[in-house]
């Protein structure tokens, strides 16, 4: 079977691997106090809700028949048109549900089902359809503005369908003490990590607005900044990737407190697998064993020629990348600049060897290769990171489906917004009765985690270890660190972590190589310059980088 690319689903990989019918999950006896509307009834109600949408739109049977032919296209269009927002984008006002109202509406939906939910809300006249959409973190597209409220109903149908497809939160886990208890008793923890666990080392993430790499390179003129990592574009023009690569490669032996936390779980015999989306290879430097690590998107540890598949260690091509050159394959070029065996050499009148006439496409002395051979004869060296359009490592799907899924007893997601498939589908693929904890700066709305721990990842894990009685020794964790933890308004399972002592601005900056760390340390010496820089970044982001995703790769 051909392996799935980054757009594929591990769930799909597992279901297509055999001819057996997909297994149905048995209801867990370990789960208590979960509000979960019966799925069969939910889908039945959703069909009736779709009919209701049609009825509201038209009463003409012929028109209804014509509309039915286009129903799939319409649903697909609405899925793409819906704009999901996070609390970071939330604007309080009379046209939006408060966080507490949103939680109550989502719980009501699951307890009574879609049909009754609509009766008790919209049909009862207690809320408009437009406002109810905000309870599901949905903002209608701009072209809906000014339309009658009933025109928003198809969007609500899609939003309800999305909500019912999500995993149900386990109601028994809400507090930080609950999380600490899970850390103590769990023996097979899956940790899924993203770029957010490395930013404290001065390594920029990809999707943060204004500061992420995708925002910084919007000037390249690509239709989508993610095309930087598109395999077809790389084959056509590797210059685009290598323009950015010098800012992506990491040459440091340091690792963050969050990396140390994962290593501590391993040391205590609790780490089942660390699924990392990062390509910086810092997990290895932190001591995560190869048998405990799946680098879902590969890494810069090695590089391979796209033509002859010759592989070298990653640091072999680093000098070329840092110098702004495209690294070429030495194996392809080996011996090609020498005359063929047995071939008579042409000599000048003075007895010196006559050089071959250069043809269009040949390298010159200032080219990207030290070998005097045609460009097509030397393949481009590509770091062994997984580009969009390339298959993920076989170990990813195999370990997840054949090993980890049956053993995992706790899931911790750290520093990723879970935007890139198929890694984003790891969490919903795992058994829904397994507790799931989320650690990052901002929450996500497309996954129902049991507990959200919001803040700097390093600060959160340090406080968790302190409360668990574990020694997490790391140079970046102040000995006298004090962390203030508050529960977010409207939520009982969402907690915000802020370091109050010492002041974060007084903490020493990490000494890593690359432009990101230099700009970071310089701005810390001049707080005003940093504020001005952030304001400018936000302004540029709004003008040229709208729609970029949040933290994590």
Report whether 523 contacts 530 (CB < 8 A): yes
Alpha-helix runs per DSSP H in 385-434: 394-402, 426-429
Q: Check if 51 is active-site.
A: no
Give 118: exposed, middle or buried? Use CB within 10 Å, 0-12, 13-18, 19+: buried
What the block records as the tokens of 114 is 């879609």
**In the 8-state DSSP scheme, what is residue 252?**
-
3-state helix, strand, coil in the chain (%, to 5): 45, 15, 45
Catalytic residue among 259, 297, 474, 495: 297
353-387 residues labelled b (16+ CB within 10 A) or e (exposed): eeeeeeeeeebeeebbbebbbbeebbbbbbbbbbb
b (16+ CB within 10 A) / e for 528-550: eebeebeeebeebbeeebeebbb
The burial of 450, by beta-carbon neighbours within 10 Å (0-12 exposed, 13-18 middle, 19 or more buried), is given as buried
* Distance between CA atoms of residues 125 and 273, nearest Å: 50
Strands (DSSP E) contained in 491-544 are 494-501
Rounded alpha-carbon distances, angstroms, from residue 252 to 10, 211, 249, 280, 283: 32, 21, 10, 10, 12
Q: Is 11 exposed, middle or buried (0-12, 13-18, 19+ CB in 10 A)?
A: middle
Token couple for 57: 């739109």
Q: Catalytic residue positions?
A: 297
């Amino acid at each position: 079977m051909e392996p799935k690319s980054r757009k594929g689903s591990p769930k799909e990989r597992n279901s297509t691997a055999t001819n057996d019918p997909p297994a149905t999950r048995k209801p867990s006896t370990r789960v208590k106090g979960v509000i979960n509307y019966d799925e069969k009834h939910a889908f039945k109600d959703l069909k009736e809700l779709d009919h209701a949408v049609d009825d509201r739109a038209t009463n003409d049977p012929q028109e209804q028949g014509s509309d039915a032919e286009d129903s799939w296209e319409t649903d697909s269009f609405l899925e793409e048109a819906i704009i999901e927002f996070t609390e970071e984008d939330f604007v309080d006002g009379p046209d939006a549900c408060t966080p507490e109202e949103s939680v109550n509406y989502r719980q009501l939906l699951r307890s009574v089902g879609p049909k009754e939910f609509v009766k008790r809300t919209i049909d009862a006249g207690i809320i408009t359809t437009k406002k109810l959409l905000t309870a599901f973190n949905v903002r209608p597209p701009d072209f809906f503005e000014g339309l009658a409220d009933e025109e928003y109903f198809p969007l609500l149908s899609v939003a309800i369908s999305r909500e019912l497809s999500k995993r149900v939160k386990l109601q028994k886990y809400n507090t930080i003490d609950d999380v600490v208890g899970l850390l103590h008793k769990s023996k097979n923890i899956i940790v899924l990590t993203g770029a957010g666990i490395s930013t404290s080392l001065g390594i920029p993430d990809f999707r943060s607005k204004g500061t992420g790499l995708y925002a910084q390179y919007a000037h390249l003129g690509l239709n989508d900044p993610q095309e930087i990592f598109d395999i077809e574009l790389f084959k056509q023009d590797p210059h685009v990737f290598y323009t950015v690569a010098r800012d992506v490669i990491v040459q440091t032996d340091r690792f963050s407190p969050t990396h140390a936390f994962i290593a501590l779980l391993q040391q205590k015999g609790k780490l089942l697998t660390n699924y990392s989306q990062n390509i910086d290879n810092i997990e290895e430097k932190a001591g995560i064993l190869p048998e405990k690590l799946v680098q879902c998107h590969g890494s810069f540890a090695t590089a391979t020629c796209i033509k002859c598949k010759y592989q070298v260690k990653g640091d072999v091509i680093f000098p070329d990348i840092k110098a702004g050159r495209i690294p070429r394959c030495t194996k392809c070029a080996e011996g090609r600049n020498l005359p063929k065996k047995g071939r008579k050499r042409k000599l000048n009148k003075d007895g010196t060897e006559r050089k071959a006439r250069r043809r269009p496409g040949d390298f010159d002395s200032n080219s990207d290769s030290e070998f005097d051979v045609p460009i097509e004869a030397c393949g481009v060296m590509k770091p062994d990171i997984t580009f969009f359009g390339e298959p993920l490592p076989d170990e990813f799907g195999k370990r997840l489906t054949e090993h980890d899924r049956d053993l995992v007893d706790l899931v911790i997601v750290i520093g990723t917004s879970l935007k890139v498939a198929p890694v984003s589908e790891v969490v919903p693929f795992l058994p829904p009765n397994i507790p799931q904890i989320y650690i990052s700066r901002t929450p996500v709305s497309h996954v129902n985690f049991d507990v959200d721990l919001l803040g700097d990842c390093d600060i959160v894990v340090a406080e968790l270890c302190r409360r668990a009685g574990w020694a997490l020794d790391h140079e970046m964790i102040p000995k006298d660190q004090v962390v203030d933890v508050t529960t977010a308004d409207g939520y009982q399972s969402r907690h915000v972590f802020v370091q109050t002592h010492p002041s974060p601005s007084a903490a020493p900056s990490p000494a890593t190589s690359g432009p990101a760390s230099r700009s970071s340390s310089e701005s810390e010496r001049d707080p005003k310059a940093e504020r001005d820089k952030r304001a400018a970044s936000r302004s540029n982001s709004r003008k040229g980088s709208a729609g970029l995703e949040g933290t994590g790769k």
